[in-house]
Chains A and B, each alone.
Chain A
Amino acid sequence: MFLFIASEVMLFGSFFTAYFFIRVVNHEPWPPPPFHLPVFVAFVNTAILVTSSFTMHWALQSIKRGNRVGMQAGLTLTFLMGLTFLLTQLLEYARIGFTPHDTAFGTVFFSLTGLHGAHVLVGLTILAAMTTRAYRGHFSPEAHEGVEIGGIYWHFVDVMWIIVFTTVYVL
């Protein structure tokens, strides 16, 4: 797990390095005119993703206490919120008014948010498998590693988004 996290930190680190480099050498306000970032939509999306971390935690706590329905509800809600996040991001891409070809800003914006989006997609695949297993009667108070590991990954994706959102959209 440590090696996985270290490799992920290095991957995101390289993208952030590119982002900060472009931002510092540009000597312009961020985002550079005439581009605008939909901060409010991204904020709502952030709230959705943070809430999904809560439901993920609830799902695991539920199965630890033997509450199967709680786990199923928690996983389903987490999946739905993750899906909402991803669809909203795709919608944002379609309406944002610039593309990855539009200057280094466009490239780095789509690279960073796209890299995170790819992680969300992987997380959704894991969540789909976990949710399906939960409805098929898998997992118990004694054996719930599948939910635990998936939960760690989902929280990691959440943490990365908080960093992306703060640095790209807010600061």
Chain B
Amino acid sequence: MPLNPLRSEAEAYRFVWLTIGYFGLIVAGALINKWLGLAVFVVLSAIILYFYLSRSERWTRVLAPTRSRTPENVRRILVVANETVGGETLREEIRRHGEGSRADVLVVSPALNTPLKHWVSDDDQARDDAQERLVRSLTRLKEVGIEARGEIGDGEPLQAIEDALRTFGADEIIISTHPEGRSNWLEKGVVSGARARFAVPITHVVVDLERESEELRR
């Protein structure tokens, strides 16, 4: 995904000042001598292009989630899960992480979509499916005494996490996936990508839905 400088209001605001600096230097150079202005334009553009193409870690890393006013004894847990959102292992993990303090749990269910449908913004079905999974999951969590809120996220899981962190000051993130070999997210390096990108403790939970349903049948 190309680097988007207008992904959040704070980044867009910073971009305004960068634009002022960029054009301010060019104008200053051009007022002295038009060739100097051209040289400043070329050099600054080359620097920007270099940073854009290299997409250094510093540019893409979200250092910390947005902190909103939350009482000290409340632990904020962000859960990101696809089809495994209703898994028993995940529920147990959420319960375990919330022990010893009040837990504020936000479950994000990415609206998984095909690349073609994503690019043409045909995501109605994907969002409906994600909503259905989410409602089922929240109901099951409530049954075991976990009060959680839920929202539909972007189809790209890392983007869904980033979006959620902007409004939910998570103390930790739980990412739930299928086991190795069956998980697209693991194949795409979602968990390792999230660890590199977000400055929040991340727990990876493997949910084997087939094994869980077999155990239920016994």
A residues lining the B interface (CB < 8 Å): 1-3, 5, 50, 53, 56-57, 60, 64-66, 141-145, 147-148, 151-152, 155-156, 158-159, 162-163, 166, 170-171
Q: Please, how many residues of chain B have a CB less than 8 angstroms from a CB on the other chain?
A: 27
A2-B1, A162-B23, A166-B23 known; A57 vs B15 contact (CB < 8 Å): no
CB of A29, distance to nearest CB on chain B (Å): 12
Residues of B within 8 Å of A142, CB to CB, are 68, 167-168
A162-B16, A162-B23, A166-B27 known; A171 vs B7 contact (CB < 8 Å): no
For B66, give the chain A residue with the smallest CB separation.
A64
**Which of A5, A66, A163 contacts B4, CB < 8 Å?**
A5
A1-B7, A151-B12 known; A144 vs B27 contact (CB < 8 Å): no
Q: In the complex the two chains form, is A2's CB within 8 Å of B12's CB?
A: no
**Which of A2, A57, A147 contacts B13, CB < 8 Å?**
A57
Residues of A within 8 Å of B66, CB to CB, are 64
Distance between Cα atoms of A151 and B10 in the complex (Å):
9
Q: In the complex the two chains form, is A155's CB within 8 Å of B15's CB?
A: yes
Interchain residue pairs with CB less than 8 A apart (12)? A1-B6, A2-B2, A57-B9, A66-B69, A141-B69, A144-B167, A148-B9, A155-B15, A156-B12, A159-B15, A159-B16, A171-B27
Q: Is B150 an interface residue (CB 8 A)?
A: no
Q: Is B60 an interface residue (CB 8 A)?
A: no
Q: In the complex the two chains form, is A65's CB within 8 Å of B69's CB?
A: yes
CB of A4, distance to nearest CB on chain B (Å): 9
**Which of B13, B27, B30, B168 contacts A53, CB < 8 Å?**
B13
CB of A23, distance to nearest CB on chain B (Å): 13
Q: In the complex the two chains form, is A148's CB within 8 Å of B166's CB?
A: yes
Q: In the complex the two chains form, is B68's CB within 8 Å of A141's CB?
A: yes
Residues of B within 8 Å of A57, CB to CB, are 9-10, 13
Distance between Cα atoms of A97 and B98 in the complex (Å):
69
Q: In the complex the two chains form, is B27's CB within 8 Å of A148's CB?
A: no
From 8 to 39 in chain B, residues with beta carbon under 8 angstroms from any chain A beta carbon are 8-10, 12-13, 15-16, 19-20, 23, 26-27, 30, 37
- CB-CB nearest 5 A-B residue pairs: A155-B12, A151-B9, A141-B68, A166-B23, A57-B13
**Which of A5, A53, A166 contacts B16, CB < 8 Å?**
A53
CB of B151, distance to nearest CB on chain A (Å): 10
Apart from A1-B6, A147-B9, A155-B16, what 10 extra A-B contacts exist at CB < 8 Å?
A: A57-B13, A141-B69, A142-B167, A148-B8, A151-B9, A156-B12, A159-B15, A163-B23, A166-B23, A171-B30
Residues of B within 8 Å of A1, CB to CB, are 4, 6-7
Distance between Cα atoms of A147 and B9 in the complex (Å):
9
Q: In the complex the two chains form, is B16's CB within 8 Å of A158's CB?
A: yes
Q: In the complex the two chains form, is A156's CB within 8 Å of B6's CB?
A: yes
CB of B97, distance to nearest CB on chain A (Å): 20
Residues of B within 8 Å of A159, CB to CB, are 12, 15-16, 19
Choose among B2, B12, B168 the residue with the greatest number of A CB atoms under 10 Å from its CB: B12
Q: In the complex the two chains form, is B4's CB within 8 Å of A171's CB?
A: no
Residues of A within 8 Å of B4, CB to CB, are 1-2, 5
Residues of A within 8 Å of B10, CB to CB, are 57, 60
Distance between Cα atoms of A116 and B131 in the complex (Å):
39
Distance between Cα atoms of A2 and B69 in the complex (Å):
30
B102-140 vs A, CB cutoff 8 Å, 1 = contact: the mask equals 000000000000000001010000000000000000000
Distance between Cα atoms of A65 and B168 in the complex (Å):
13
